[in-house]
C-alpha cells in the first residue's frame, strides 16, 4: 500500500496553510500613500519618512543612531568603510551565509578570511575564530544566522582582547535579543536588510545602527555620495557611493516595523511547539535552546538531517519527500561562500589586483561543509501558520521515517 505523498499517497501536512509574504498592513499603505502624495520620493527632496524610520528603528534597538540605506549589502559595505577598512586589511567573515556577508569586504578593499561554522548554531565557530585571528586582522563580520544570535558574551571578549572592530550582520535577526539587548547593538555597527523575504520587508532596503557618534557621522556622509547629511548641493567631502533609501521604501518599512513584535511573538510560540514535536524524532537535530536568548527574530529556520536514521535516504531525497507531504523545505545555502565562483582568484582578483589572496577555491572547513550536506531550511512564514499546521510538519517527517522503504526500493 502506498503511503507517501511522493508516490501518490495523501499529504500529511494538508492542514499547513502558510500565509502569503510580504503582508501589507494599513500602516504601510497609509505611509506609502502619504509619501507618494508628498511628491518627495527621494530623501534629498525633503521627505520625512527616512528620518522617521531612522528615529524609530534606533529607538526600537535602544541605539543612538541609525542610517537608512538602499539594501542590506550596502549596509555592510557602508559599515566597513565607516569603520575604516583600508586596502589589504584582513577581515574575518562567516563561511555560511548569504554571499554579501563576505563579498562586502573585497568590495571595499579588504581581504576576507573565512572562519568555520558551528554545526549546532549555524553561526561562526568561536573556537576556530580564535585560531584564525592574526596580527593582520582588523575586524570581524559576524552573522546572527536565521535570527539565532551569536554567543555575544564570548564574542565580545574575543573582540576586545584582540582590539578588533565588529560588524553584526543582523539581516535575519530583526527583533532578536541577547540577555534583553537587541542584537546589532553589541558591536561597532549592526546591519539589517529589508529585502522582501525578511520579517521586516520593504521590497528592498536596509539600515545600520551604532552608538558611536563619530562612526555615525562618517556613515551619514558616506551613504550620501560624500555629502553632509541633508545637503543637496555639489560639495562632496568623501569618496563615496549613493546608498540612500527612497522615501517610499522607508514609508513601507516604517509601517512594517509596527507589526514586527507581534509577528515575532507568534513565530516564537510556533517554533517552541515545533521544537517540542521534533526533539523526539531520531535523525533530526535542531538548534540548542539557550536562556540567554530573550527574544527571537526570524528570516528562515533550520534543522540538520541524519540520513542514517532514515535508512540511508539522502538529504536531497528527504527534502523532495517532505515537500511532497506539503512542507516547503529546501537545502538553503548549498555551498560555503568560499566555494562560490565569485571567490575564485580570477574574479576576486579583479577587486584586489595587488593583494596576496588566500586560495579560497581549495579551502576546506569541515563544519560548514558538513552543514551544507545535512541542512534543511524552511521560511519564517511557516511559523505564522496555525498550530495544527505547524504540528503537521513533525507528522510528515515521522511518516517519511516510518515508510522510508517506499523511497529506497
Q: Can 223 be counted among the known catalytic residues?
A: no
Name which of 238, 248, 313, 240 is nearest 282 in CA terms.
313
Name which of 183, 230, 223 is nearest 71 in CA terms.
223
Question: What pLDDT score does 144 carry?
Answer: 98
Q: Can 361 be counted among the known catalytic residues?
A: no
Strands 65-69, 206-210: pairing is antiparallel
Point out the catalytic residue in the list 195, 249, 296, 339.
195
Q: Can 189 be counted among the known catalytic residues?
A: no
Question: What pLDDT score does 1 carry?
Answer: 61
Q: Tens digit of pLDDT for each residue in 11-56?
A: 999 999 999 999 999 999 999 999 999 999 999 877 899 999 999 9
- Is there a contact between 108 and 133 (Cβ–Cβ < 8 Å)? no
Average confidence score pLDDT of the chain: 96
Instruction: Give the residues across from 83 on adjacent strands.
Output: none
Question: What pLDDT score does 278 carry?
Answer: 97
Strands 293-295, 111-115: pairing is unpaired
Q: Tens digit of pLDDT for each residue in 208-252?
A: 999 999 999 999 999 999 988 777 788 888 888 999 999 999 999
Point out the catalytic residue in the list 43, 65, 138, 172.
172
pLDDT at 2 over 80: no
Name which of 35, 33, 21 is nearest 245 in CA terms.
35
Question: What pLDDT score does 237 carry?
Answer: 86
Point out the catalytic residue in the list 169, 182, 188, 315.
169
CA atoms within 13 A on the CB side of 319: 18
* d(C-alpha 206, C-alpha 308), whole Å: 42
- Is there a contact between 136 and 86 (Cβ–Cβ < 8 Å)? no
CA distances from residue 159 to 16, 90, 138, 314 in whole angstroms, order as listed: 43, 14, 10, 40
Q: Tens digit of pLDDT for each residue in 302-312?
A: 999 999 999 99
What is the residue whose three cell numbers read 517610499?
248
pLDDT-derived band at 57 (thresholds 50, 70, 90) equals very high
Strands 189-193, 177-178: pairing is unpaired
Q: Can 391 be counted among the known catalytic residues?
A: no
Integer-rounded Cα Rg, in Å, for the chain is 22
pTM, 2 dp:
0.96
Instruction: Give the residues across from 112 on adjacent strands.
Output: 91
Q: Tens digit of pLDDT for each residue in 168-205?
A: 999 999 999 999 999 999 999 999 999 999 999 999 99
Q: Can 244 be counted among the known catalytic residues?
A: yes
- Of the candidate ranges 91-105, 186-200, 229-243, 276-290, the one whose mean pLDDT is the lowest: 229-243
Point out the catalytic residue in the list 43, 144, 198, 220.
198
pLDDT at 115 over 80: yes
Point out the catalytic residue in the list 65, 220, 244, 381.
244
The CATH classification number of 26-257 equals: 3.40.640.10
Q: Can 195 be counted among the known catalytic residues?
A: yes
Amino acid at each position: 500500500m502506498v503511503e507517501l505523498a511522493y508516490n501518490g499517497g495523501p499529504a500529511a501536512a494538508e492542514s499547513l496553510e502558510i500565509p502569503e509574504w510580504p503582508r501589507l498592513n494599513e500602516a504601510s499603505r497609509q505611509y506609502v500613500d502619504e509619501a507618494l502624495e508628498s511628491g518627495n520620493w527621494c530623501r534629498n527632496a525633503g521627505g520625512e519618512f527616512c528620518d522617521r524610520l531612522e528615529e524609530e528603528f534606533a529607538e526600537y534597538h535602544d541605539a543612538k543612531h541609525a542610517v537608512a540605506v538602499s539594501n542590506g549589502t550596502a549596509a555592510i559595505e557602508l559599515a566597513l568603510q565607516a569603520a575604516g577598512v583600508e586596502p589589504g586589511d584582513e577581515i574575518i567573515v562567516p563561511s555560511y551565509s548569504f554571499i554579501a556577508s563576505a563579498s562586502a569586504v573585497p568590495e571595499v578593499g579588504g581581504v576576507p578570511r573565512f572562519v568555520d561554522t558551528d554545526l549546532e548554531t549555524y553561526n561562526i565557530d568561536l573556537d576556530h575564530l580564535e585560531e584564525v585571528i592574526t596580527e593582520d586582522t582588523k575586524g570581524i563580520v559576524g552573522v546572527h544566522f536565521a535570527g539565532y544570535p551569536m554567543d555575544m558574551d564570548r564574542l565580545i571578549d574575543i573582540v576586545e582582547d584582540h582590539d578588533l572592530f565588529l560588524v553584526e550582520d543582523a539581516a535575519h535577526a530583526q527583533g532578536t535579543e541577547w540577555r534583553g539587548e537587541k542584537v546589532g547593538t553589541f558591536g561597532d555597527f549592526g546591519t539589517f536588510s529589508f529585502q522582501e523575504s525578511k520579517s521586516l520587508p520593504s521590497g528592498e532596503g536596509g539600515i545600520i545602527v551604532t552608538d558611536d557618534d563619530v562612526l555615525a557621522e562618517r556613515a551619514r556622509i558616506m551613504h550620501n555620495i560624500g555629502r553632509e547629511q541633508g545637503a543637496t548641493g555639489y560639495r562632496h567631502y568623501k569618496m563615496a557611493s549613493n546608498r540612500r533609501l527612497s522615501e517610499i521604501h522607508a514609508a513601507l518599512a516604517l509601517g512594517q516595523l509596527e507589526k514586527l513584535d507581534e509577528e515575532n511573538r507568534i513565530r516564537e510560540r510556533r517554533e517552541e511547539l515545533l521544537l517540542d514535536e521534533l526533539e523526539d524524532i531520531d535523525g533530526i537535530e535542531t538548534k540548542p535552546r539557550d536562556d540567554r536568548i530573550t527574544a527571537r527574530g526570524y528570516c528562515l529556520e533550520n534543522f540538520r538531517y541524519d540520513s542514517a536514521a532514515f535508512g540511508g535516504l539522502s538529504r536531497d531525497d528527504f527534502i523532495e519527500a517532505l515537500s511532497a507531504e506539503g512542507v516547503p523545505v529546501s537545502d538553503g545555502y548549498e555551498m560555503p561562500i568560499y566555494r562560490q565562483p565569485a571567490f575564485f582568484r580570477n574574479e576576486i582578483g579583479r577587486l584586489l589586483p595587488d593583494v596576496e589572496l588566500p586560495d579560497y577555491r581549495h579551502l576546506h572547513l569541515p563544519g560548514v561543509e558538513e552543514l551544507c550536506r545535512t541542512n534543511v531550511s524552511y521560511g519564517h512564514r511557516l511559523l505564522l501558520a496555525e498550530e495544527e499546521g505547524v504540528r503537521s510538519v513533525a507528522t510528515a517527517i515521522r511518516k517519511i521515517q516510518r515508510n522510508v522503504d517506499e523511497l529506497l526500493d
